Amino acid sequence: MMLKIDNLHVHYGLSHIIQGISLEARPGEVVGIFGRNGVGKTTLMKAVAGWVKPTDGDIILDETRLAGLAPDRICRHGVGFVPEDRRIFPGLSVEENLQLGLMQRAGRSRSEEKSEIDRIYQRMPRLAERRRQAGTTLSGGEQQMLAMARVMVGRPRLALIDEPSEGLAPMIVADIFAIIEEMKAAGTIVLLVEQNVGGALALADRFYAIERGTVVVSGHAGNDADKARLMEAIAV
């Protein structure tokens, strides 16, 4: 299984936001997506998730063409998205938000779904304590954990994670990064957009740097020369 993005283009009206991005990611890899604000990182994630429609190019996951599919169909192909703004559903409890994450994998029995939610509660006891509480009343850190848990509960093949550490206390950030490590160990493909470059590189296997909607640098997170080129490319 592999994620392959080939010559992807995305427009917002007359604005050409993504200008021919190509990248690959394999099971059990964390691939960092870096760049300054406004260069197209979030638009790339939204295009893979189906929230915006590409104007050209392909997005292929395990021989399934995702480009142009509706978000719910992409979700059912095992794609989970943790957006920058978390998108906790108003009016729904913590547990109801988690149940929506089960859409990533159809065909499970009710007992299997309960087992998956119980697994999440064991991993994140704070969510278990608040399972009947409205998701939007949680603290910022708890909402981020819920957004991560909503993806984890479906055991996704591909997880898209956009700026998970933004504005959070170091202890919460450490737990979120630990969750990403667990996804990686489970064989999930992870695309990670993150401004905490050092923390993200500690998790990542490979990376791509974007500038003006194109890839300007790619490399291996463990290679010092590649990291130096990355830091030069994204320097403000």
- pLDDT tier at 156 (50, 70, 90 boundaries)? very high
Mean pLDDT of 35-54: 96
* Percent over 70 (pLDDT), the chain: 99
For the cut 90, the answer to whether the pLDDT of residue 5 exceeds it is yes
Instruction: Compute φ and ψ for 7, nearest 5 degrees.
Output: 50, 50
Q: Which amino acid is at 186?
A: A
- pLDDT tier at 139 (50, 70, 90 boundaries)? very high
pLDDT of residue 201: 96
Whether residue 225 contacts residue 193, with contact meaning beta carbons closer than 8 Å, is answered with no
SS (H, E, C) the chain: CCEEEEEEEEEECCEEEEEEEEEEECCCCEEEEECCCCCCHHHHHHHHHCCCCCCEEEEEECCEECCCCCHHHHHHCCEEEECCCCCCCCCCEHHHHHHHHHHHCCCCCHHHHHHHHHHHHHHCHHHHHCCCCEHHHCCHHHHHHHHHHHHHCCCCCEEEEECCCCCCCHHHHHHHHHHHHHHHHCCCEEEEECCCHHHHHHHCCEEEEEECCEEEEEEECCCHHHHHHHHHHHCC
Bigger pLDDT: 187 vs 109:
187
Assigned token pair, 137: 């009343």
For the cut 90, the answer to whether the pLDDT of residue 121 exceeds it is yes
Mean pLDDT of 16-21: 97
List the domains of the chain with CATH numbers.
Answer: 26-53+69-234 (3.40.50.300)
pTM, to two decimals: 0.94
Mean pLDDT of 213-218: 96
How many C-beta neighbours within 10 Å does residue 83 have?
16
Q: Give me the torsion for CA of 207, 210, 214, 219, rounded to 10°.
A: -20
Output the CA angle 54-30-120, nearest 5 degrees: 100
Which residue from 2, 1, 23, 20 is spatially nearest to 10, judged by alpha carbons?
Answer: 20
For the cut 80, the answer to whether the pLDDT of residue 236 exceeds it is no
pLDDT of residue 112: 85
For the cut 90, the answer to whether the pLDDT of residue 109 exceeds it is no
Mean pLDDT of 130-135: 96
For the cut 90, the answer to whether the pLDDT of residue 18 exceeds it is yes
- CA gap 174, 106 in Å, rounded: 31
Mean pLDDT of the chain: 94
Assigned token pair, 214: 């194109």
Mean pLDDT of 125-151: 95
pLDDT of residue 217: 96
- CA gap 23, 191 in Å, rounded: 11
Mean pLDDT of 129-143: 94
